[in-house]
Structure 1
Amino acid sequence: MDKILEVRDLAVSFETYGGKVQAVRGVSFDLYKGETLAIVGESGSGKSVTSQSIVQLIPMPPGKFESGSIIFNGEDLIQKSEMEMEKIRGKDIGVIFQDPMTSLNPTMKVGRQISEGLIKHQKLNKKRAYEKSIELLRLVGIPNPEKRINQYPHQFSGGMRQRVMIAIALACNPKVLIADEPTTALDVTIQAQILDLMKDLQEDMGMSIILITHDLGVVARTSQRVVVMYGGIVVETGTVDEIFYQSKHPYTWGLLSSMPKIDADNDEELLAIPGSPPDLLDPPKGCPFAARCSHAMNICADEMPKYTTLSDTQKTACWLLTKEAQSIKQSETVMAGGSISE
């Protein structure tokens, strides 16, 4: 498969009154043509900052690119000016934002909001852009698009607003679609419809999707590969099957254990990961998950482990997988009764 996007050692920080927040700390991943890549993790893990960095939607200041590169079509997007990025956003890379009600302009009819990108990037006149907007609303499953195109966002339901956002993002046939929590606050029936719609459109248009989510059920339904983030770094990557059935990082185990299971007993409690995410004003120098990990060793808090390559598609940053851990096991006690044999 051909790579369409390469993110390498991306580091993004924010200057605040309390100090520098190191939101993203050396993130790397690839996106291939025609695939769906899911980025998962708790709130505050750096998922949205990573995705927004790709299209330079990080406000600067207070945001700052500390290091790294984002290669798209052979060019580093970080080095692009705002004027150059305006030619890429919407045209080559589309974005579905997390909350359609706040992302859509409440003072503009949805038809005008869809038409803007068509007029700017595809140089259509207003009449043709209007006709194309109706086609897009019909494509994303909005009934009676000839009438709906002249309505305002508040006249649409949550699911319909999300469909409008998808129409805007797909208006110029982008090569990459970034979907940031596209099913947040939608009921499960509408969620399924939105996910099926995105999958069908991906197959028809051949685009690649970066799906930002904390819902592992959505990941299992839509994605081919998964990036697991925690504390601003990537702790594990792999195919969906590898992450769900052969994961090796304790944080990934915690995420999977917190999922409800259809065959669980009625009195079986959901497991929760104890503790809180690290303070990225002063991130830990070792593994960011060490303070919450029942398998942590002394070295976990002192030094960040390197990635262990488990297959052509899976790698994990955990001391439990290193040769050094075997000797450490002989001399140190695993905290909280954990065992590295797991």
Structure 2
Amino acid sequence: MEKLLEVKDLTVSFDTYGGKVQAVRGVNFDLYKGETLAIVGESGSGKSVTTKALMGLIPSPPGNIEKGEILFDGKNLAKLSEKEMTKIRGKDISMIFQDPMTSLNPTMKIGNQIMEGLIKHQRMNRTDAKKRAIELLELVGIPNAQERIKQYPHQFSGGMRQRVVIAISLACNPKILIADEPTTALDVTIQAQILDLMKDLQKKTEASIIFITHDLGVVANVADRVAVMYAGKIVEIGTVDDIFYNPKHPYTWGLLGSMPTLDNTEEELVAIPGSPPDLINPPKGDAFAPRNPYALKIDLEQEPPMFKVSDTHYAATWLLHEHAPDVEPPESVKRRMKGFAKTGTAPGVDEKKGDES
């Protein structure tokens, strides 16, 4: 597969009154053409900061890309000026944000908001841009596009507004589409529609997608590969099958154990004890160790490297060391893994479709 993006040792910090927050601490991953990579983890794990760094949206000050490379199309995006990033942002790399109402300008008609990028990046005249904007609204499933292009955001439902945001993000045929929890603000039936839409559009446009979410159920339905983040680091990365059928990091076990399943309605969900560490003073060793019931003595002293599980699967846990004790996932996780195997997939959002207006 063709490698489209390569992130090497990305480190991002923020200066605050309390000290320097080390939000992203040496993140590495690749993105291939036409694939969907999901990045999952708790709030504050560094998911959104990582993707905003890819877009050149880290405010400086207080933010700072301390080191690392973001290699795309022969350029290191981490070293580009704002003027240079403006030529890439929206054209080659585009982003769908979490809340469509704050993404759209309430004082501008929908059509003008879609046409902006077409006129700026594609050098279209207004007539051609309007025609393309109507085509984009039809592509994302908005009926009566010729009329609705004249309307304002408040005249659309939440699901329809998110479709408009997706149309804007696709306007310039980007190579990479970053979706930052695009369904969080929507009800569960509309979530299913938006996820189906994104999968369908990816087949038509061949764009690569980075999908940010805290919901592993969503991941199972949209992703090809999954990167699990904790305390500013990727602690496990692999295919969807690797993560759901053969997870290796205790944090991934915790995330899977806290997932509700349709066939275990009476089983109590298992919460991960404790809370994420203070990234002003990150702990020595493995950051997850204080919350990890399987932590070894070395976890408190030395940070684990990425151990290779297979050609597609890597995890940063000392439990994979050849001299580590043999520890298996907890029973709650094993039951979920069996449930995934029985149904052929992990539980996702409700597949029932609802109406939008």
Q: Aligning the two structures, in what range does the TM-score lie when normalised by the shorter sequence?
A: over 0.9
Deviation at 1:162, TM superposition (A): 0.5
3-state DSSP of counterpart to 2:12? strand
Deviation at 1:265, TM superposition (A): 4.0
8 Å contact from structure 2 (residues 307, 316) kept in 1: yes
8 Å contact from structure 2 (residues 92, 176) kept in 1: yes
Residue 115 (structure 1) aligned with residue 115 (structure 2): yes
Matches within 5 A, 1:176-187: 176-187=176-187
Cα deviation 1:295-321 (Å, max 9, x = unaligned): 012221221001110111110000111
Name the structure 2 match of 1:17.
17
Name the structure 2 match of 1:303.
302
Name the structure 1 match of 2:238.
238
TM-score (norm 1): 0.94
Residue 340 (structure 1) aligned with residue 339 (structure 2): no
Name the structure 1 match of 2:317.
318
Matches within 5 A, 1:1-342: 1-266=1-266, 268-326=267-325, 340-342=327-329
Deviation at 1:31, TM superposition (A): 0.2
Within 2, Cα distance between the matches of 1:161 and 1:103?
Answer: 9
Deviation at 1:324, TM superposition (A): 4.2
8 Å contact from structure 2 (residues 94, 178) kept in 1: yes
Deviation at 1:341, TM superposition (A): 4.8
Cα deviation 1:91-125 (Å, max 9, x = unaligned): 11111011111111111111111111000010001
Within 2, Cα distance between the matches of 1:119 and 1:265?
Answer: 52
Structure 2: gaps (5+ residues): 330-357
Cα deviation 1:159-192 (Å, max 9, x = unaligned): 1111011000000111110000011121121111
Question: Which letter maps to 1:280?
Answer: L
Name the structure 2 match of 1:334.
none
In the alignment of these two chains, the number of paired residues is 329
Deviation at 1:198, TM superposition (A): 0.7
3-state DSSP of counterpart to 2:324? helix
3-state DSSP of counterpart to 1:6? strand
3-state DSSP of counterpart to 1:24? strand
Cα deviation 1:4-34 (Å, max 9, x = unaligned): 0000000000001111000000000000000
Question: Which letter maps to 1:30?
Answer: D
Question: Which letter maps to 1:7?
Answer: V
Question: Which letter maps to 2:313?
Answer: Q
Structure 1: gaps (5+ residues): 327-338
Within 2, Cα distance between the matches of 1:282 and 1:98?
Answer: 29
8 Å contact from structure 2 (residues 177, 207) kept in 1: yes
Cα deviation 1:217-252 (Å, max 9, x = unaligned): 111001110000000001000000000010100000
Q: Larger deviation: 160-169 or 296-305?
A: 296-305
Within 2, Cα distance between the matches of 1:134 and 1:265?
Answer: 45
Within 2, Cα distance between the matches of 1:185 and 1:219?
Answer: 17
Q: Larger deviation: 41-50 or 285-294?
A: 285-294
The structure 1 segments of at least 4 consecutive aligned residues displaced by more than 6 Å after TM superposition are: none
Deviation at 1:271, TM superposition (A): 1.0
Question: Which letter maps to 1:340?
Answer: V
3-state DSSP of counterpart to 2:279? coil
3-state DSSP of counterpart to 1:325? coil
Cα deviation 1:31-76 (Å, max 9, x = unaligned): 0000000000000000000011001111111000011000001211
Name the structure 2 match of 1:331.
none
3-state DSSP of counterpart to 1:323? coil
Within 2, Cα distance between the matches of 1:286 and 1:108?
Answer: 51
Within 2, Cα distance between the matches of 1:61 and 1:132?
Answer: 38
Question: Which letter maps to 1:38?
Answer: A
Deviation at 1:147, TM superposition (A): 1.7
Question: Which letter maps to 2:135?
Answer: E
Question: Which letter maps to 2:249?
Answer: H
3-state DSSP of counterpart to 2:48? helix
Within 2, Cα distance between the matches of 1:274 and 1:282?
Answer: 20
TM-score (norm 2): 0.90
